[in-house]
Structure 1
Amino acid sequence: MEIIDIIKESFVYPSNDLAKLAIYIAFTFVSTILVFLGILLLGMGLTQSAIYAVIGIILFIGAIVVAFILSGYLISIVKSGINHDENLPEFQWKENLITGVKYLVVNIVYFIIPAIIVLIVGGITNLFGLSADVFSKIATSSVNASANTTAVASNIVPQSTMMSLWTAIAITGIVAAILFLIFLFIETMAESRLANTDSLGDALNIPEAFKDIGRIGWGKVIAVVFLIFIIIAIINSVISGLNYYIPGISIISIVVTPYLTFFASRATGLLYSDIA
């Protein structure tokens, strides 16, 4: 499919079955309530009976289960895009739960790898040692607590140390931005591979996921992913802007956010359908 066709079809897709969208919204609300009650009861457990803490933990577990189901359902939407199914998939609670757990593993792996590399770069540039040295000097100084932090740093910390710190921050930051951006695209392919095969092994095959981008076309993958982010950002910005003039209108995000999530998942599936 052409890029514009992917975006147009995906944006309309959630409206094909508003009942399933409503179910997803309802379960999102349930998960939020469970988390809120869990926090409340855990707090009561610290000051009152331990039974409250136990109930709070149970509610947290319930919220996690619901979150896994919702996450797994999004993967099934990706699959619907790969298969070009016009209808939204049915909720399959057990299968969605299992897939949601798999998807969590995928996210953890694809986050940990760039994070570890960034930590290594931070170590090579001595970012952590320099940061600790600077903050230690500032914390142990006898300057006025209300003084400007930048001024404090310039008076206490040698300029060469500050220059080294800013250089380390810049290098590490640039590497981090590049790595996380690359892994964002690879993770998108991994998400699609999980939806297409239901295999955690296929989803975690990083070299093949990387090659999938080339098979589809780097330009097309980058264009679709960025268009998804831009559309979501614009809609959220419009809602925030309207909320300034019409207080409370941001509550429509309860519906808009899941709608946009369906849109993004569908577009991901349609994008991957080129090579599935």
Structure 2
Amino acid sequence: MILDIYKDSLEYSLQEGKTLLKLGVMMFFSFLILPIFLVLGYYYRVLDTATHGMINGDDKLPKFDDLTSMFVDGLKVFLVKFIYLLIPCIIFLASLIIGGQISGLNNNVGSGVMFVGIIISIILAILFYFLSIMAVSNMVANNGSIKDAFDYKSIWKIISNVGWLRYIGFYLGLIIIITVISIIVGIILALIWITLGISGAFVSAFGLNIGLIIGLLITISVYLFLISPYLTIFESRAIGLIYEPLDGDD
């Protein structure tokens, strides 16, 4: 089933080049902050399609329109993920502050408090991260209800039904696929530059430094406007398909 999800998601993400470019433009302007929420909003829409769809179905890519609604959806995704990671961050900071104060009296005890606090915060951050992924899916599957994103009992049960090891293995598989695709694309682009002599032409025309900068900018542009949006859609589609609502849920 997991391999089918990967296959479906890889093919699904290739449906429409214009959508990839639009999403890529939003990613490019993410330094302005507001476009980040549009990217998350489109992530929401892909999740929505996937959680209500089926593997190897005929689902289409969501339209890139109604930006106000997409912005609000993106804000919801950000809010849920932020709250889930807030507790580990608080514990991390608290351990540093308390440990630092104790160190003034006993350095060994203070260092121990900081070490234990950091370990606990890392473990909780990993746990809450995996919970947040399914929490967002549960919110999206239930018509964007933020309340359902914090229905911990249902979310825990959903993950348990999938199987924790299977769920973690699935996500690690996503990371591996994304990493491999990124590396392969980078190698292909480098080979194209070398084979066609384009990099050499840039160097001859503009000098070594400018030529390398131009080649690097073009490579980054290809990744930013095509590969990165493709991988974002791939990830959200796969996560939506692994989500299995509890009996009685829509």
User: What TM bracket, shorter-length normalisation?
Assistant: 0.7 to 0.9
Report the secondary structure of 1:86's partner residue. coil
Contact 1:239–1:250 (CA under 8 A) maintained in structure 2:
no
Residues in 2 aligned to 1:244 and 1:17: alpha-carbon distance in whole angstroms: 25
Query: What's 1:113 paired with?
Result: 87
User: 1:170 Cα shift?
Assistant: 3.1
- Give yes or no for the alignment of 1:178 onto 2:123: yes
Q: Report SS of the residue matched to 1:188.
A: helix
More displaced, 241-250 or 259-268?
241-250
What is residue 174 of structure 2 aligned with on the other side? 228
CA distance in 1, matches of 2:25, 2:67: 15
The one-letter code matched in structure 1 to 2:49 is S
Q: In structure 2, what residue type is equivalent to 1:168?
A: V
Q: How does 1:76-115 map to 2 (within 5 A)?
A: 76-84=45-53, 86-91=59-64, 92-115=66-89
Q: Does 1:12 align with 2:11?
A: yes
- Counterpart of 2:159, as a letter, is I
TM-score between the two structures when normalised by the length of structure 2: 0.74
Q: Report the counterpart of residue 29 of structure 1 in structure 2.
A: 28
Report matched runs for 1:1-276 at 5 Å: 2-32=1-31, 35=32, 63-64=33-34, 66-84=35-53, 86-91=59-64, 92-122=66-96, 126-129=98-101, 133=104, 161=107, 163-164=108-109, 166-197=111-142, 198-237=144-183, 248=216, 249-254=219-224, 255-273=226-244, 275=246
SS at match of 1:15: coil
**Residue pair 1:80, 1:86 contacting (<8 A) in 2 also:** yes
Gaps (5+ residues) in structure 1? Answer: 36-62, 135-159
- The answer to whether the 8 A contact 1:243-1:250 is kept is no
CA-CA distance at 1:23 after TM superposition: 1.5
* C-alpha distance 122-268 of structure 1, shift in aligned 2 (>3 A): same
Q: CA deviation at 1:90?
A: 1.3
Aligned equivalent of 2:209: none
| Cα separation, 1, equivalents of 2:175 and 2:102 | 35
CA shift for structure 1 position 274: 6.0
Shift of 1:71: 1.1
Determine which structure has more spread, i.e. the larger CA radius of gyration.
1
Q: Give unpaired runs (5+ residues) of structure 2.
A: 194-211
Distance 1:122 1:205 in 2: 31
Q: Which amino acid aligns with 1:219?
A: L
Q: Look up the equivalent residue of 1:69 and give its one-letter code.
A: L
**Change over 3 Å in CA distance of 1:29–1:115 after alignment to 2:** closer
Contact 2:95 2:118 in 1 (8 A): no
2:162–2:244 CA contact under 8 A, matched in 1: no
Q: Does the 8 Å CA contact 1:191/1:203 hold for their aligned counterparts?
A: yes
Corresponding residue number in structure 1 for 2:201: none
Aligned residues: 216
Residue 52 of structure 2 aligns to which amino acid in structure 1?
Answer: N
Q: CA RMSD in A?
A: 2.8
